[in-house]
Amino acid sequence: MRPTVAPFPTTRLRRTRRTPALRDLVRENTLTTGDLIWPIFIREGEGVEEPVPSMPGVVRRSVDLAVKAAEEAAALGIPAICLFPYTDPSLKTETCEEAWNPDNLSNRTIRAIKAAVPDIAVMTDIALDPYNANGHDGIVRDGIIVNDETVEALVKMALAQAECGADILGPSDMMDGRIGAMRAALEKAGHSDVTIMSYTAKYASAFYGPFRDAVGASGALKGDKKTYQMDPANSDEAIRLVERDLMEGADMIMVKPGMPYLDICRRVKDEFGVPTYAYQVSGEYAMLMAAAQNGWLDREKVMMESLMSFKRAGCDGILTYFAPEAARVLNAG
Ligand code: PBG
């Protein structure tokens, strides 16, 4: 497999790096606008854009402006947009029924975007945390995050989203058995063409901090998510999870966070050869932006380099808050 390298000076690897033209010819990976999925935060209201302080440049948008964002994404060549709702605290309960309300913020936004920009793929989030009084992704009973009851709730959530026209369902909850349960329910309800991008290897990470601010879950969360999200020390376990999710009917596999877990992306791609995605999460975005704002890093360059690292690691696409900016850079050629 490894090509033979003749000894110096027969081989001088700098020869193919000498000019831009030669570097173009030997480039192994490419990043295109078609690789990008743009996560956006949504909120109630009209004509409202509210900054998220821990994510400079990122805002929470009302539904009408989320539609505008979808139009912008489509014009830039970004194939998919992913919705995360900031839920009014008064709607958060221990039973989380707002999660499958057909008229909740997220479902109204799916319908509005599909009506205005039918060609863009709308991806959703499936987990109870935006609707849960205690901030967890699952239903909590006596301090335990209960698996099977949570899966029943997630299935209702998935069906409501599919009904609104969602193209890609994104279960981010890490419960066991959820992909199989959703897939069976979708088939039964006539939604056999709806795709599932499973947050398969989702680690219990401190890099999600700014996201929890953005969706208003930081204050609510009691304890941590270590009984359902993965231990950052594990890699073989991710492979078992991927195999399990594929067997249960996932179409696409996600690794999350991104940059600290590029080794996992590579293993998933090599071992399964399936559509593989990374989520460059809020904390990754925040740290690059913070350094850029201090003048310590060149924002555009680190953005493009970080996105290319996912392609090099075998990913087919990246969820990134940089999506519109990266697309503008790519489109400018
Ligand atoms: C919640 C969810 C999280 C993210 C996406 N969906 C946070 C968490 O698990 O606490 C994180 C995204 C980011 O940090 O950008 N189910």
Do the Cβ atoms of 169 and 124 come closer than 8 Å? yes
pLDDT computed for residue 216 by the predictor: 83
Whole-angstrom CA distances from 121 to 46, 102, 113, 297 are 23, 19, 9, 33
What is the pTM (predicted TM-score) of this model?
Answer: 0.97
Question: Tokens standing for 123?
Answer: 């991806």
Stretches in the chain below the pLDDT threshold 50: none
**Residue from 141, 142, 132 nearest 87 by CA:** 132
pLDDT computed for residue 2 by the predictor: 74
pLDDT computed for residue 163 by the predictor: 98
The span from the CA of 316 to the CA of 184, in Å, is 26
Q: Domain ranges for the chain, please list them.
A: 30-332
Ligand 1 midpoint to CA 211 (Å) = 6
Nearest CA to ligand 1 atom 5: 172
Q: What is the pLDDT of residues 219-261, one digit of tens each?
A: 778 899 999 999 999 999 999 999 999 999 999 999 999 999 9
pLDDT computed for residue 221 by the predictor: 86
Residues 6 or more apart whose CB falls under 8 angstroms from that of 268 comprise 200, 201, 238, 239, 242, 253, 255, 274, 276, 314
Q: Within 6 Å (CB) of ligand 1, which residues are found? A: 125, 127, 129, 137, 172, 208, 211-212, 225, 281-282
Q: Which of 92, 225, 256, 311 is catalytic?
A: 256
Q: Active site includes 225?
A: no
Do the Cβ atoms of 198 and 241 come closer than 8 Å? no
Q: Which of 92, 202, 225, 269 is catalytic?
A: 202
3-class secondary structure per residue, the chain: CCCCCCCCCCCCHHHHHCCHHHHHHHCCCCCCHHHEEEEEEEECCCCCEEECCCCCCCEEEEHHHHHHHHHHHHHHCCCEEEEEECCCHHHCECCCHHHHCCCCHHHHHHHHHHHHCCCCEEECCECCHHHECCCCCCEEECCEEEHHHHHHHHHHHHHHHHHCCCCEECECCCCCCHHHHHHHHHHHCCCCCCEEEEEEEEECCHHHHHHHHHCCCCCCCCCCCCCCCECCCCCHHHHHHHHHHHHHCCCEEEEECCHHHHHHHHHHHHHHCCCEEEEECHHHHHHHHHHHHCCCCCHHHHHHHHHHHHHHCCCCEEEECCHHHHHHHHHHC
Which of 129, 132, 207 to mutate for ligand 1's pocket (most ligand atoms within 8 Å of CB)?
129
Question: Tokens standing for 201?
Answer: 């290897």
The span from the CA of 265 to the CA of 242, in Å, is 11
Ligand 1 midpoint to CA 172 (Å) = 7
Q: Active site includes 301?
A: no
- Ligand 1 nearest atom to the CA of residue 319, by list position: 15
pLDDT computed for residue 5 by the predictor: 86
Residue owning tokens 């999660």: 99
Nearest CA to ligand 1 atom 2: 172
Which of 154, 208, 228 to mutate for ligand 1's pocket (most ligand atoms within 8 Å of CB)?
208
Ligand 1 midpoint to CA 3 (Å) = 42
Ligand 1 midpoint to CA 23 (Å) = 37
Instruction: Give the orientation angle of helix 323-332 with respect to helix 63-76, to 10 degrees.
Output: 30
Which of 54, 137, 200, 288 to mutate for ligand 1's pocket (most ligand atoms within 8 Å of CB)?
137
Q: What is the pLDDT of residues 16-50, one digit of tens each?
A: 999 999 999 999 999 999 999 999 999 999 999 99
Residue 183 identity (one-letter amino acid): R
The span from the CA of 160 to the CA of 104, in Å, is 10
Nearest CA to ligand 1 atom 7: 208
The span from the CA of 214 to the CA of 130, in Å, is 10
Q: What kind of architecture, by CATH, is found in domain 30-332?
A: Alpha-Beta Barrel (3.20)
**Residue from 199, 245, 227, 218 nearest 129 by CA:** 218
Nearest CA to ligand 1 atom 11: 208
Q: How far is CA 260 from the centre of its chain?
A: 15
pLDDT computed for residue 333 by the predictor: 83
